[in-house]
Structure formats: structure tokens, C-alpha cells
Amino acid sequence: MNNVRIVSTGSSVPELIITNDMLSKLVDTSDEWITTRTGIKNRRVSVDKDTSDLATEAAVSCIKKASVKAEEIELIIVATVTPDMFTPSTACIVQNKIGAFKASAFDINAACSGFIYGVDVAKSLLGCGRFRNALVIGAECLSKITNWEDRSTCVLFGDASGAVYMEVSDKPGIMKISTGAEGDKGNSLLSGALKPNNPFNRNNTSPYKDHFVKMNGQEVYRFATRVISESIKDIFEEFNLTEKDIKLIIPHQANLRIIEFASKKLNISIDKFYINLQDYGNTSSASIPLALNEAFEKGMISEGDKVIAVGFGGGLTYGSLLIQF
Ligand code: UT7
């Protein structure tokens, strides 16, 4: 198998910032509740851009940094739960918008673990020689599936995109990827965009009521704290790593309390964890590549550094990465 490395990163967020105080005028909540229960202060909401627009912006900035021309790209994968439409895929829309006319393109849905799943698929296809490079994008307009009258969910989510450009390489690059799913818990985080309206089904007992996100927060919280800790621990053990061997851990940005739990349980300093959920909230599949790009832009990752990324969410799914840059 070929080694595969991440060459460059990019991201994009909408301009509109919605603060906790603004939300407290919409629903019965407060900055104090949102901050202490989640750590979130602001989130971005897209007024006029679709998921493919945010994905395209992240892609353009990412390939510019890699000095690659769009027509050289061979594979585009977009991870999203908020595609512009069912077909064409968001990846095909991006392919057209950036002019990557030679690329194969498709979407995947693994919710908040989608970016890790996307990197996994791309790494496998590059590793076996099927393609030589790939653009993997996590992009979401979660505002479209957020019920702005439901205080238990509307304070959590935001819109964003992030992208990585990957190439076959001599360097170690992506050293390890794990993914998994616990579909038996799928009903604890739902967005049922497809209404079961088959006219022959007179006795519809589907749990799907509409497209809004519905979450059993505590059940997902228990899952998240378990899988984030296990995923990081497994990587440390397999590669015989200590805290000082890792430059950064980039977790999915769902809740500060989940990250603090993992930090305490694993006895890893909270400073090792990259945290930007205070600025963007939970952006599902965009959260890890957005954070990764920010960490690069702040100069926090250099060549040779090892970084762990870990995702968890709808499905329920989880996944983790060990990368050497
Ligand atoms: O990205 C996918 C992965 N997602 C996650 O990992 C999310 C995991 N879950 C969580 O992060 C947390 O469960 C939440 C942040 C969603 C909720 O925090 P919680 O500490 O589990 O709160 P809760 O749901 O137990 O609600 C506590 C109280 C309830 O009131 P009562 O029943 O105690 O009177 C809620 O009605 O807080 C109330 N509440 C609110 N109050 C003010 C719920 N949402 C709000 C709100 N403002 N926005």
C-alpha cells in the first residue's frame, strides 16, 4: 500500500455570527446556560450560501496552498448531512464549481465522524493506487435542519466547511485510521429529511417526523465521552506514545465538557486539545478540518508533528486518525 499524506488544509465560515445573547431572544435560554453546559459562545449561520458554496470556498483555499491545479485533482469526497440536494451530490457541484473535470466525485454521510470516514475512504483509494490525490471536504449548513424554536438543540449547531488535499507520498503521513458505528443507538440523534409518505403505508410508525435535528443529549453524551476516550487511548497504546509525542489532539467540537472529560480520564493536559467550539459551535463533519486548518494557520503544527483527530456523532458513528505531518 502507498503512504498517503495530508498536504494542505482550507476552511470557510459564513460571515453572520449568532451570539448566545441573540439566541436568548429567540428561545428560553441564556449565555450562562449555554456557556456552562457546552462552552459555546458563538456560531456562524449562512444566510445566502449553500453547503456546496462553503465546500467550494474551503476547497479553493486548500488547493491553492498545495499549488495544485483543479484539473489535476482525481477524487473529491464531500462528507455532509446537509447536502444542497440528493442529486447531484455536493461533491459533483464542487467539482463543477472549481473546474476539477477529471475528478471522480461523491458524498458520504457519517454525520460528525464524516470527515474521518472520508479520509479513510480516500486513503484506501490512494493507498491501493486507484488515484494519486484527493480532496476531502467536510461541509455543513446545519442551520437548515435546526429547529430554531427548540432550545435543547438550536444553541448547539453552526455552519462551516473544512478541506484537506491528500497525495500519495514517501512520508508516513496518515499512520492510522479507525472507524466504527453503533447503529443500535441511531435513534438518539435524528434528522429525517425524507418523510415516509408512501401512500400504500397506512400504518406508518417511523420515528422520523421532519427534517429537524432531534437529539437525546444525555445518551449521545455518554456515547461521546466513551468513544473519544477509547479512541485516543487505543492510538497511544498501539504506537506506544506519550503525551509529549503528540503535538495536538483535534476532537470533534461538540461540547467542551466532553473534551474536558477525555482530558481528565486519560490524564492528558487540556492544552493538548485544540478547541474552537466557543467560536463555531458544533459544525458536524466540518468541525475537525476547520479546527485542523485553524491550527495550521496559527502555526501550531509543523513538519514532522504528530496529530490525533477524533470524531463522534450521528449514526451513531466514531472515528480517529493519527497523522504525521
Ligand atoms: O455532534 C454530535 C455529538 N453530539 C454530542 O456529543 C452532544 C452530547 N450531549 C451534550 O453535549 C449535552 O447533553 C447537551 C449540551 C446537549 C445538553 O446538556 P445536558 O447537561 O445533558 O442538559 P440536559 O439535556 O440534561 O438538560 C438539563 C436542563 C433541562 O431542564 P430540566 O428538565 O432539568 O428542568 C433542559 O430542559 O436544561 C434544560 N435546557 C436548557 N435550559 C436553558 C436544555 N437546553 C437548554 C437551553 N437553555 N438551551
CA distance readout (Å), 159 to 11, 31, 208, 243: 11, 20, 23, 32
pLDDT tens, residue by residue, 63-116: 999 999 999 999 999 999 999 999 999 999 999 999 999 999 999 999 999 999
Strands 75-79 and 133-141: parallel
- 8 A C-beta contact, residue 191 and residue 81: yes
Query: Do 198 and 181 share a domain, yes or no?
Result: yes
CB of residue 37 inside a 6 A radius of ligand 1: yes
- 8 A C-beta contact, residue 47 and residue 85: no
Query: Do 54 and 68 share a domain, yes or no?
Result: yes
pLDDT tens, residue by residue, 189-213: 999 766 555 666 556 555 555 688 9
Q: Say how far apart CA 117 and CA 111 lie, in whole Å.
A: 10
CB of residue 217 inside a 6 A radius of ligand 1: yes
Cis peptide before 316 (omega within 30 of 0): yes
The amino acid that residue 239 corresponds to is F
Q: Say how far apart CA 235 and CA 283 lie, in whole Å.
A: 25
- Separation of CA 217 and ligand 1 centre (Å): 6
- Separation of CA 113 and ligand 1 centre (Å): 21
C-alpha of 119 from chain center:
11
Kindly report which listed range (32-46, 180-194, 217-231) carries the lowest average pLDDT score: 180-194
- 8 A C-beta contact, residue 143 and residue 157: yes
Query: Do 128 and 256 share a domain, yes or no?
Result: no
- Separation of CA 152 and ligand 1 centre (Å): 6
Query: Do 94 and 40 share a domain, yes or no?
Result: yes
- 8 A C-beta contact, residue 295 and residue 273: no
CA distance readout (Å), 177 to 120, 238, 244: 6, 12, 21
CA distance readout (Å), 277 to 38, 248, 256, 268, 272: 9, 16, 7, 19, 15
The cell for 114 is 464524516
pTM here is 0.95
Nearest CA to ligand 1 atom 42: 29
Query: Do 164 and 17 share a domain, yes or no?
Result: yes
Q: Say how far apart CA 312 and CA 285 lie, in whole Å.
A: 10
CB of residue 38 inside a 6 A radius of ligand 1: yes
The catalytic site residues sit at: 112, 252, 282
CATH code of the domain in which 118 resides: 3.40.47.10
Query: Do 163 and 184 share a domain, yes or no?
Result: no
Nearest CA to ligand 1 atom 44: 152
CB of residue 262 inside a 6 A radius of ligand 1: no
Residue 307 has pLDDT above 60, yes or no: yes
Mean pLDDT of the chain: 95
Q: Which of 147, 171, 195 is the last residue of a domain?
A: 171
Query: Do 33 and 164 share a domain, yes or no?
Result: yes
Mean pLDDT of 120-135: 98
Query: Do 254 and 109 share a domain, yes or no?
Result: no
Mean pLDDT of 131-136: 98
Q: Which atom of ligand 1 is nearest to the CA of 29?
A: 47
Q: Which of 171, 193, 222 is the last residue of a domain?
A: 171
In sequence order, the 6+-apart residues with CB closer than 8 A to the CB of 67 are none
DSSP bridge pairs for 313:
317
**In total, how many domains does the chain have?**
2
CB of residue 311 inside a 6 A radius of ligand 1: no
The best mutation among 19, 28, 37 to test binding of ligand 1, ranked by most ligand atoms within 8 Å of the C-beta, falls on 37
DSSP secondary structure of 292-304: HHHHHHTT---TT
Q: Which of 171, 191, 218 is the last residue of a domain?
A: 171
Q: Which domain holds residue 21?
A: 3-171
Query: Do 160 and 184 share a domain, yes or no?
Result: no
- Please report the pLDDT score of residue 195 as a whole number: 59
C-alpha of 212 from chain center:
19
CB of residue 153 inside a 6 A radius of ligand 1: no
The best mutation among 20, 36, 221 to test binding of ligand 1, ranked by most ligand atoms within 8 Å of the C-beta, falls on 221
CB of residue 151 inside a 6 A radius of ligand 1: yes
Query: Do 86 and 158 share a domain, yes or no?
Result: yes
Query: Do 116 and 187 share a domain, yes or no?
Result: no
pLDDT tens, residue by residue, 214-256: 999 999 999 999 999 999 999 999 999 999 999 999 999 999 9
Residue 161 has pLDDT above 60, yes or no: yes
Query: Do 163 and 180 share a domain, yes or no?
Result: no
- Please report the pLDDT score of residue 192 as a whole number: 79
Among 276, 289, 299, CA closest to 57: 289
Residue 158 has pLDDT above 70, yes or no: yes
